[in-house]
Structure 1
Amino acid sequence: MRLRGRRMPVSRPVFLAFCGILIGFTVSYTWTFVSFPEPSKCASTAEQLSAEELLGPSSNGNVFERAQAIPGRRRGLMLVAIMTAARYVDTRAYNVWKTWAQHVPGKVLFFVAEGTESIHPEMPLIRLKGVDDTYPPQKKSFAMVKWLAENMADEYDWFLRGDDDLYIRGEELAQFLRSIDSSRAHVIGQAGLGNTAEYGLLALGSTDNYCMGGPGVVMSRATLLKVSPHLETCLQHLLTSHEDVELGRCIRKHVGVACTWNYEMQKLFHNNQRSIKELKDTEELKAAITLHPIKDPAVMRAVHLTNREIKLQEARSKRVSLASELSSSKKPTLVRLMPNRTSDLTPWEYMNNNKILFCANRPNCPRHTADASVRADISTTITREFNANARQRGRNLQFQSLQYGYMRVEPRFGVDYVLDMILWFKKFRPPHRTTLSVRRHAYVQQTFGPLKTLPEAKMRANLRLNSSLVEDTSIHMIMPLRGRAEIFARFATHLKNVCQRSNGEDNNVSLLIVLYSSEDEARNRETIEFLRASSIPVKVLEMGDAAFSRGIALMQGAAMLPHNALLFFTDVDMLFTCDALHRIRLNTILNAQVYFPIVFSEFSPESWSENDRLLADAFHYGRRRGYFRHFGYGLAAMYKADLMAIGGFNTKIEGWGKEDVDLFEKVIAYGKLRVIRSPEPGLVHIYHPIHCPETMKKEQLDMCRGSKAASLASIDTLVEQVAQYS
């Protein structure tokens, strides 16, 4: 379908009201899991109609008269007719069926050419006999409308004609249609007059605007019945090759109505003229009833997920509102927890006007920008709540920027915000129209819903999509090794002790060593035999005298394992606990989730306090002893299938560092895997001196020097050292 259209100014605005929660300036959201009831699915159909039956006169007389002869019948709200082709029926059309079609308060049917087959028998296909996939699809489009009139006109009040690259928000469409009289003739959509090259060449009169087919065409039952007897004549007298133009011309001539001429329809029936690659602005989706075009099935699923998140948020918000009404004596307050001790107080974190969050009283917590979702929620929520009665007041407020604010997380209750904002104040009621920049304070509460449990097996099954692989829960450690015999002996002893103490699943650990030749090679081989004698599965991949490359070593090690193997990339300097192994299994999900733990890294023991030096246990977390390395990505857990899907490690990187950051960026860019990053107390990196040869590339040398400096001592120790010379 080619896209055309020019929009004209508003003649009569169409507004959709979205419910919000307003309690003073306090806004409440909740994160409760809500399951939405699914409409009953359509039965699979395979209608076979002749071309004469489709486009010829009905043997039962006039369709309009025949439909009017059935009194007192209660019809459904709407039927959505999706036109697709054989090459898209199992891709685009199937993803439509599995996403938004399951949430339409009505029926969804897919219209295909004669002889079209699908590998998904549950899809409700209507095969139009005598119709092929010829483009442009004028005959298919007209035949589909004719079929709807003769077979479904008695069943529904509204009919939407769309393509397989259209996303429809069913609940919003239903709300919109219920506000319109379906007994009158209507054709609704985004009006078009043709693009720049075609303007004036489509034989359209000044009032003959048509509804563009891309974002969807909605017809009332009256329109469908009145235009049906004339479709054959219209098909025989086409003036252009555009089926939506010709359908609009036919409706205008024989029904007497044209497409809705309203500027608001640009937002409701959204068409961006280019294929939507990703949905960057959820406000665009929130304002729309239909979204077009979405040609990538993966993008269709992503847009659907975003829409369901919006609906879930609205349902949770409504729940909080109803709960507040039931307990009218309970007023909103920022004091949701009465502390008994000072340690129970939750600190507020400061947000300044450049949207940087600063960690309060946590010396090793890094600065980071506020999440885009948080900024978007603040903008949407504040604007909506301040504008709840905008029409009555004759003014509108729009979020401009955040001056400063405070936020805190109460784990059992939710998130609290105190915000100082800059807003645009727009007074639109004459005679005092004006636009000003104003400051306002807001107190916002995001309320957590009650926790709900889900069996791990069910959760993993939901996340793994349609993978045919079965997860292997054994952890396969892959460790490159060159020299460092003493450190490797310490690692081996610790691994043996951990495995002997653990029971059951946590004991399913194997070690794959990618071994490079060195002066310590004989001692390393003795340690390997020590591990094998301890009943720990050990494999060795011989690299000989090859130049050391961590990326190459890890990729060649992964190549020795099956695609369903759980890989854990580690270093010889690491110590770990049974709990860490357990969390690696929990946080790594095939085809869905990878785990980049934030490890605790020791400072140089020379900077430790006396108490730290007396502690033999490495798993002691003191601010002078070490820090959680937020910027480190060297340790990672993922399934081999996911490693290969993202492209694996960059094997062209030589020497120290950078290969881990490259892998992390690949996971993010891939977009289909969720990344889990969290401090892991069960993983400790034992301090060792870092050497940064001057022969390294500049970017790697800078990273090496930065890591070396960060690992020398704590901030407290450095302050004490400076104080001695002040």
Structure 2
Amino acid sequence: MTAAKFVDTRLVYYPRAYNVWKTWAQRIPGKVLFFVSEDTYSIHDDMPLIRLKGVDDVYPPQKKSFAMMRWLSDNYLEEFDWFIRADDDLYIRGEQLETFLRSLDPTKPHFLGQAGLGNSAEYGQLSLGQRDNYCMGGPGILMSRETLRMLAPHLESCLLEMLTTHEDVELGRCIRKHVGIACSWNYEMQTLFHNNQSNPDAFKGWGTNPELKHAVTLHPIKQPEHMRKVHQDNLITRIRELRSLRIKLEQAKTTSKPVSLVRRVANTTNDMSYWDYTALNKITFCANGINCPRHTIDSNMKNALGDIVTELFDEFNSNARYRGRILQFQSIQYAYSRVEPRHGIDYVLDIILWFKKFRPPHRATLSVRRHAYVQQTFGDIEAITDEEHLKILKSASEYYTNMTDEEQHEAALNAKDSKRVHLLMPLRGRSTTFIRFCENIIEVLPPSEKDIELVLILYKSDNESDDMSIRKEAQALSAVLDVRIVDMGDSEFSRGKALTMGSEVLSPDSLMFFTDVDMLFNYATIERIRTNTILGTQVYFPIVFSEFAPESWSANDDSSTSHFSYSRRRGYFRHFGFGLVSLYRRDFDAVGGFNLTIRGWGMEDVDLFEKVISSHLRVLRAPEPGLVHVYHSIHCSSDMPEQQRKMCTGSKAQSLASLDFLAEKILPFSA
């Protein structure tokens, strides 16, 4: 059931029904119909609307609900085994629904869903008998063909005998009276037909929630973008399940004995695989890693452990009824994990669980501690085609052939922009550092490279000679590559605003690289920017090598004049930095650009990264050896917002010196 305001994308901000049609409705093992009022139409011709004669969009929709049941009985009673009545804010997982229904007999009357008696304010006010209930409409109401056959002749009389304004309550009352069954009280229905009215964001990232793994329906999902995200997570979950099944089948075909935890023998101690230790499912101690003695468990590990526990206990309880016992997960005391790059991931889990024996006369509940040895095996390497990207290219090709000469000329300029790398750099003063940046560009760029442009977003500083020196150096650089200056005058410096202004002078298909004056790079970096950034598909956030203060370098490091020296005493790869990014202007605009309300040091890059993560775009993060951040002192203003000041002081402290240098200062090495 839906209403006109949720159907047509031209007229509404929340086209729920259309998003249902474009997501889960395409994967239902049957037919999906949208029941609307008599005068409702849609611009989407392929959307199957059923206009109910004499029905309007007045709420509550008792008449619409009963008319829908009547229409289904008159038109489809003999064509389908099962019928589910749903709202447009419900997500249905087609594969789980089919698996569930295959275990039931549609020739018998069934009335399934999440049973209800009314909320706390309505309890006892719905005229329900002691044994009566109803299936709540939100999570979906499922009935067999036999139920609908027995119900259909009495729909009109039930519509005239309503005692409440709730159409799901009245439908349940009608079925109880004329079919003789109530909504199933089975406790599992709360899991299968999942309802969470208290939290509007309950299903964000639901694919990693083990409690929802077996859910057939999820309710409510009112925002279209949430519906699309849930659908994406469902497809990802399904792909993972199919890949896991394929690996199990391949293993069963090739070997009959289980894989050993010792899958390879190390030749030297340096070749050994280290186990990382996780305590109480919260803190991980790294066995082998720089700057990583311990840290809180990250989301990937947390999600992996959740999936493993769910799968383990599903297997433990697969024959629970036959054995007369059930196992329920309590907690993980500790865990060991390691990655074998050629084989997979190994886990040793110390699990606390409830052992419940429910078969008389030996009923008991015990808390038990057990070890589980788990292996997640890698599948074979696959080469796949990015179909979406190919569709974009094909569509662009067809569009190009139908353009006028003028449009083709403009498109050719845009295509050139898609290969040209535009270096966007905000700058205020610091002429000496800018001269070093320019000298580095001149040194690394080959003479044949013509597709690079420097977009210099220039602020006026307090030193006029400094500003003149920068402009003079930019003029000299223009002999080697194109240089464009965006003048910001004497306005307050803002990196986010500067990069936004710089992007606005470029075409929509321009490839942009946001950089800083403290960066040095080599030509291989330019090539990787072009390769790793894909229009409409992928954004590249390189992980740069950041130098420590030169005073902390060792004597050997100090003798090297090249900044491209990657010793652990000289610097570190800044995994928490997101300021340098390569993306197309079209994608930058699509995610919403920078937050221009942020002032002072930092935060604008993190905000952009989170926007990209939340969008349809893919993020590529990789250490970039061709990018080096030359050390400079950092000033953290005392009037910064607290979160920005913490980030600033944290970055400042991290960049002062290596752990080796600090350890020597605290515990001087003896001869």
Query: TM-score, normalised on structure 1?
Result: 0.79
User: Which residue of the partner structure matches residue 687 of structure 1?
Assistant: 631
Deviation for aligned residue 1:509 = 4.4
Match of 1:243, as an amino acid?
A: E
Match of 1:250, as an amino acid?
A: C
Contact 2:196 2:202 in 1 (8 A): no
Q: Secondary structure at the match of 2:4?
A: coil
Aligned equivalent of 1:716, options 630, 645, 660: 660
Matched, 1:602 2:526: no
Aligned equivalent of 1:531, options 461, 465, 477: 477
Say which is worse superposed, 417-426 or 286-295, in terms of deviation: 417-426
Change (3 A) 1:330 1:341: farther
Q: Secondary structure at the match of 1:182?
A: coil
Contact 2:324 2:359 in 1 (8 A): yes
User: Which residue of the partner structure matches residue 312 of structure 2?
Assistant: 382
Deviation for aligned residue 1:186 = 2.5
Matched, 1:301 2:228: yes
Aligned-residue Cα RMSD (Å) equals 3.4
Match of 1:257, as an amino acid?
A: I
* Correspondence list, 1:228-247, <5 A: 228-247=152-171
Tell me, which stretches of 5 or more residues in structure 1 are unaligned? Answer: 1-82
Q: Deviations over 1:665-691 (max 9, x none)?
A: 5656x5665554432222111223445
Deviation for aligned residue 1:614 = 4.4
Distance 1:615 1:703 in 2: 31
Distance 2:425 2:475 in 1: 16
Distance 1:197 1:654 in 2: 48
User: Which residue of the partner structure matches residue 26 of structure 2?
Assistant: 102
User: Which residue of the partner structure matches residue 138 of structure 2?
Assistant: 214
Deviation for aligned residue 1:150 = 1.6
User: Which residue of the partner structure matches residue 279 of structure 2?
Assistant: 352
User: Which residue of the partner structure matches residue 490 of structure 1?
Assistant: 436
Distance 2:360 2:602 in 1: 65
Q: Deviations over 1:18-56 (max 9, x none)?
A: xxxxxxxxxxxxxxxxxxxxxxxxxxxxxxxxxxxxxxx
Deviation for aligned residue 1:601 = 1.0
Deviation for aligned residue 1:147 = 1.7
Q: Secondary structure at the match of 1:346?
A: coil
Matched, 1:623 2:573: no
Q: Deviations over 1:36-89 (max 9, x none)?
A: xxxxxxxxxxxxxxxxxxxxxxxxxxxxxxxxxxxxxxxxxxxxxxx1111112
Change (3 A) 1:396 1:647: same
Deviation for aligned residue 1:156 = 1.2
Change (3 A) 1:502 1:414: farther
Match of 1:531, as an amino acid?
A: L
- Name which structure has the greater RCO, CA cutoff 8 Å, separation 6+: 1
User: Which residue of the partner structure matches residue 558 of structure 1?
Assistant: 503
Change (3 A) 1:558 1:170: same
User: Which residue of the partner structure matches residue 512 of structure 2?
Assistant: 567
Change (3 A) 1:548 1:296: closer
Q: Secondary structure at the match of 2:149?
A: helix
Q: Secondary structure at the match of 1:478?
A: strand
Query: TM-score, normalised on structure 2?
Result: 0.85
Distance 1:502 1:436 in 2: 75
Deviation for aligned residue 1:231 = 2.4
Distance 2:57 2:638 in 1: 65
Distance 2:350 2:593 in 1: 45
Aligned equivalent of 2:297, options 351, 366, 369: 369
Distance 1:350 1:447 in 2: 20
Contact 1:502 1:578 in 2 (8 A): no
Tell me, which stretches of 5 or more residues in structure 2 are unaligned? Answer: 9-14, 400-410
Distance 2:124 2:335 in 1: 55
Change (3 A) 1:525 1:721: same
Deviation for aligned residue 1:177 = 1.9
Distance 2:118 2:490 in 1: 69
Distance 2:640 2:108 in 1: 77
Deviation for aligned residue 1:538 = 1.6
Distance 1:210 1:606 in 2: 75
Contact 2:452 2:482 in 1 (8 A): no
* Correspondence list, 1:43-192, <5 A: 83-90=1-8, 91-192=15-116
Matched, 1:522 2:465: no
Change (3 A) 1:184 1:654: closer
User: Which residue of the partner structure matches residue 292 of structure 1?
Assistant: 219
Deviation for aligned residue 1:368 = 4.3
Say which is worse superposed, 283-292 or 643-652, in terms of deviation: 643-652
Change (3 A) 1:394 1:706: same
Contact 2:191 2:212 in 1 (8 A): no
Deviation for aligned residue 1:389 = 4.2
Q: Secondary structure at the match of 1:597?
A: strand
Change (3 A) 1:405 1:608: same
Change (3 A) 1:696 1:297: closer
Change (3 A) 1:246 1:426: closer
Deviation for aligned residue 1:400 = 2.9
Q: Deviations over 1:257-316 (max 9, x none)?
A: 333233332222222334742315523422322222221112222222222233223222
Matched, 1:511 2:455: yes
Distance 1:109 1:196 in 2: 34
Match of 2:275, as an amino acid?
A: W
Distance 2:82 2:640 in 1: 69
User: Which residue of the partner structure matches residue 441 of structure 1?
Assistant: 371
Q: Deviations over 1:588-620 (max 9, x none)?
A: 455665443321011233443444344444323
Matched, 1:475 2:402: no
Q: Secondary structure at the match of 2:31?
A: strand
Aligned equivalent of 1:404, options 334, 343, 363: 334
Matched, 1:226 2:150: yes
Q: Deviations over 1:688-726 (max 9, x none)?
A: 344567787776666555444433332223333445487
Count of residue pairs the alignment pairs up: 638
Say which is worse superposed, 490-499 or 670-679, in terms of deviation: 670-679
Match of 1:89, as an amino acid?
A: V
Change (3 A) 1:302 1:662: closer
Q: Secondary structure at the match of 2:5?
A: coil
User: Which residue of the partner structure matches residue 421 of structure 1?
Assistant: 351
Match of 1:713, as an amino acid?
A: A
Distance 2:232 2:368 in 1: 36
* Correspondence list, 1:259-298, <5 A: 259-274=183-198, 276-279=200-203, 282-298=209-225
Contact 1:275 1:292 in 2 (8 A): no
Q: Deviations over 1:221-263 (max 9, x none)?
A: 2222232233233333333322223333333333333332333
Distance 1:457 1:530 in 2: 45
Distance 1:225 1:498 in 2: 79
Deviation for aligned residue 1:528 = 0.8
Deviation for aligned residue 1:143 = 2.0
Distance 2:647 2:559 in 1: 32
Match of 1:597, as an amino acid?
A: P
Change (3 A) 1:661 1:154: closer
Distance 2:641 2:303 in 1: 37
Matched, 1:336 2:260: no
Match of 2:351, as an amino acid?
A: M
Contact 2:458 2:489 in 1 (8 A): no
Distance 1:705 1:188 in 2: 58
Change (3 A) 1:687 1:460: farther
Change (3 A) 1:591 1:404: same
Q: Deviations over 1:476-514 (max 9, x none)?
A: 32212223222212211222344426769xx44443332
